[in-house]
Chain A
């Protein structure tokens, strides 16, 4: 019998498209998780400026908050954190075996709540930024 076909080529040749809610939730959860880890390092480094002196810390914070891009990114950070929390709660329920047949709806609800909270936070974060 001939060697089985090398799967590498099939990947270019036509692919499975069965991307369901659970898969998107998984991808977004990993993605937001990595962003939060990255933010954690940045957060600690900004806080560490207080080790130099209180003034340096205040200047750093004021400098950062003076940048419009930072204000916009804060809205994004909130959205990332909220989604991660919401989907994390969904995953806890999944681990406990509760409402597994509703898991896709829970994912959509996480997205919806994230969007609502992010939009609602815009006035607070962007006040006086532009």
Chain B
């Protein structure tokens, strides 16, 4: 029953101009913020973007950002999937500490700390225990229906205690060149940690987007009731994302402890869960679940790491670094908010002398309320 009159306006596609389409791309604002931070650094530190080769390794601030950002990228990667299901995982920081503590304890007490087999079994131990942590979180959330923020708060608090039990309250130092490789080594001129993080990001992207996993996760997060009525088994998906999140945190924990060749149950991964949540949100995945963007999360994590690096290079006094970081984060979030940008440009328009040109101006307001 198509009405013969097809010239009507309703549903007629309207092509936006190229620049506007670019600005509406979901990664535009995270990328723009990152670029702005990097450019800002160049103003203060002229060779900030310089990368040089030394002993066959690449060196420079950019490489440092990637290397020190790798653990955060990994934790944020798992966090993205959890948040996409409408959940949150506060226990990742503790998992980072537990994984590092387990691996270092295992290596320190082994007969041959330098051997590959010791390091591999240490890795397997850490990842295995992390998977069990993820299973517990997933069980609490998916089977018992505990609110994710409460379910994972349990291990956020208790997990740090467990990590200290493992290290006996001490900082365990290890000397194992094979273990050092994970967080401090180089391969193909690049830090191994960067390659490892890149590989895990790539695998996660492939698995979520080439299979239907991403779609089903977005569906469960976007509308759990409708997802049940459409026949999606949410329990398995939920358990899976919490396991992935914990395993990502474990690998991050290995990187951090490997880089400093020691495990500190007290401070390793402290507050990293908050940075990860922030990275996910800056990257464009809403805390209310649904659509997620792994690329956005990587950009978000890099923004946070660049910010930390900036603070050091600018020489912000240590007692004000957290306040400085908070201010920048607020600005970043405001810049990304369509509502805030609309208000800004509306103010500009009211100030503009020529209202006629403003009438057709669409760039001010992205679609917030649906037609």
Are A and B co-members of a single complex? no
